[in-house]
């Protein structure tokens, strides 16, 4: 996150109002709720995990055991069980 001086971006009246509550510190202003991206949307991590989990479900449905899938995907057996038996989808 890049630091921006409030003098450069805020109107003088708004800056004076903010200074009533905070002077000389750093203030984080979050994006509005509708504009925030979910985890992994920028990096592609969410898409990668969704595809990996779908592949695990397909392999399990075709007959591979939890232990075999754990070895193949380098995950614990408990993680494989959560993916296969759980209904949570990314």
The pLDDT of residue 89: 55
Q: Residue 46, exposed/middle/buried by CB under 10 A (0-12, 13-18, 19+)?
A: middle
Q: What DSSP designation does 44 have?
A: S
Could you report the per-residue pLDDT of 8-39, keeping only the tens digit for each?
999 999 999 999 999 888 888 888 877 777 77
Sign of the torsion formed by the C-alpha atoms of 42, 37, 58 and 83? positive
Q: Say yes or no to pLDDT of 90 above 90.
A: no
pTM of the model: 0.58
Least confident of 24-28, 49-53, 86-90: 86-90
What is the domain partition of the chain in residue ranges? 6-85
Q: What DSSP designation does 32 have?
A: P
């Amino acid at each position: 996150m890049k630091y921006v001086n409030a003098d450069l971006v805020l109107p003088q009246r708004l800056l004076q109002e903010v200074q009533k509550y905070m002077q000389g510190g750093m203030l984080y202003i979050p994006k509005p709720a509708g504009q925030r991206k979910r985890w992994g949307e920028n990096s592609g991590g969410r898409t990668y995990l969704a595809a990996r989990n779908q592949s695990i479900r397909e392999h399990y449905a075709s007959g591979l055991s939890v232990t075999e899938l754990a070895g193949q995907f380098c995950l614990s057996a408990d993680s494989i069980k959560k993916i296969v038996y759980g209904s949570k989808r990314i």
